[in-house]
Amino acid sequence: MQIGVLHARIRLEEKMIFTELEKRGVDVKRFHIEAVPLSLDADGAREDITQVDAMLERCISHSRALAAIRVIENWGVPCVNSWQVAEVCGDKMATNLALSNAGVAQPRARVAFTPESALEAIEELGYPAILKPAVGSWGRLLARVNDREAAEAILEHKATLGTYHHSIFYIQEHIEKPGRDLRAFVAGGEVLCAIARHSEHWITNTAQGGQVTNYPVTDELREIAVNAAQAVGGGILAVDLLESSRGLLVCEVNYTMEFKNSVEPTGVDLPAKVVDFLLEVAEGRELVPAQRAAAVDAAQQPTGGAS
């Protein structure tokens, strides 16, 4: 068996994963995304990539990761996580719709296309309201607007100075949470462990200084985290949750999860769990969504004789 790892800069997480793969004697091939041109021609599949049994995607840039695994999966290599899952999780609007369709609780949200209609949506949700880039991470460019003047200012700045991504306004109801949010790590439909991220700031990302403690896996947390993971297509995921007066709500689902600050507080060897899941996919014991769809198609094909 051979495992591929598609990566960019090697962070502590990737080091931990490589160490774990090495410890288990797995044959690993590394592909640096900046050095891997991919052909889109019918005969363009790269043999060094198609020969791996599964590809672990550990890139930093969502757009690059998404493009690469789209091609690699098209060549028949199961990717962790799969292209479909990355596409849904990398875009907060797409996640929102997937969760809505599956009946998973989340903050109310609106999408608007001009500052005027965004203001209308904000006022409908009420102050404070949250504006986020639909594609983004690490708590960057999030804004909590407390009143109409602040809303007008942010919307004007986005409209005038924003990049392409800011031409769509993604607006969420603000959740009055208790100085922390929660994160559940899910693999193959099971919750591995959970953490709370504490901060004096309303943005609790560890990239913004949030502090991590272990959080017990309650029945409520397990149920919503598993449902959220399933709604976006399954895989190995970090589900961010907000505690609210109407119970737990899903804030977002992360598909290239960062876990370096969570191993110590939870006592769960998360790099080992990533490798466990990856090997299950490589061995065909865990199906990524594309394989699952193919399996359903195959099952629905009429078997010989019926004409």
267-270 LR contacts (CB < 8 Å, sep 24+):
267/193, 267/214, 268/185, 268/192, 268/193, 269/20, 270/16, 270/185, 270/192, 270/193
Q: Which stretch binds ligand ADP (CB under 6 A): 43-51, 158-166, 175-183, 259-267?
A: 175-183
CA distance 40 to 22: 32
| Contact pick of 26, 94, 108, 137 for ligand ADP (by CB under 6 A) | 137
Query: Looking at beta carbons only, is 75 or 209 nearer to ligand ADP?
Result: 209
Query: Looking at beta carbons only, is 31 or 170 nearer to ligand ADP?
Result: 170
CA distance 272 to 276: 6
CA distance 71 to 54: 14
| Contact pick of 11, 75, 202, 211 for ligand ADP (by CB under 6 A) | 202
| Contact pick of 4, 78, 107, 234 for ligand ADP (by CB under 6 A) | 107
Tokens 């639909």 sit on residue: 134
The answer to whether residue 257 forms part of the interface with ligand ADP (CB under 6 A) is no
Interface size with Mg ion, residues (CB under 5 A)? 2
Return the one option of ligand ADP, Mg ion, none that residue 21 interacts with (CB less than 5 to 8 A, by type).
none
Return the one option of ligand ADP, Mg ion, none that residue 132 interacts with (CB less than 5 to 8 A, by type).
ligand ADP
Q: Which stretch binds Mg ion (CB under 5 A): 42-50, 68-76, 81-89, 246-254?
A: 246-254
**In the chain, what is the straight-line distance between the N-terminal and C-terminal CA atoms, in Å?**
40
Phi-psi region of 78 (alpha: psi -120 to 50; beta: other; left: phi over 0): beta
The answer to whether residue 138 forms part of the interface with ligand ADP (CB under 6 A) is yes
Return the one option of Mg ion, ligand ADP, none that residue 172 interacts with (CB less than 5 to 8 A, by type).
ligand ADP
| Contact pick of 240, 243, 258, 286 for ligand ADP (by CB under 6 A) | 240
Query: Looking at beta carbons only, is 13 or 252 nearer to Mg ion?
Result: 252
Interface size with ligand ADP, residues (CB under 6 A)? 23
The answer to whether residue 188 forms part of the interface with ligand ADP (CB under 6 A) is no
The answer to whether residue 111 forms part of the interface with ligand ADP (CB under 6 A) is no
Site string for ligand ADP, 40-79 (x = CB under 6 A): ----------------------------------------
The answer to whether residue 227 forms part of the interface with ligand ADP (CB under 6 A) is no
Binding site for ligand ADP (CB under 6 A): 107, 130, 132, 136-140, 142, 172-175, 177, 181, 202-205, 240, 242, 251-252
Which residues of the chain form contacts with Mg ion (CB under 5 A)?
A: 240, 252
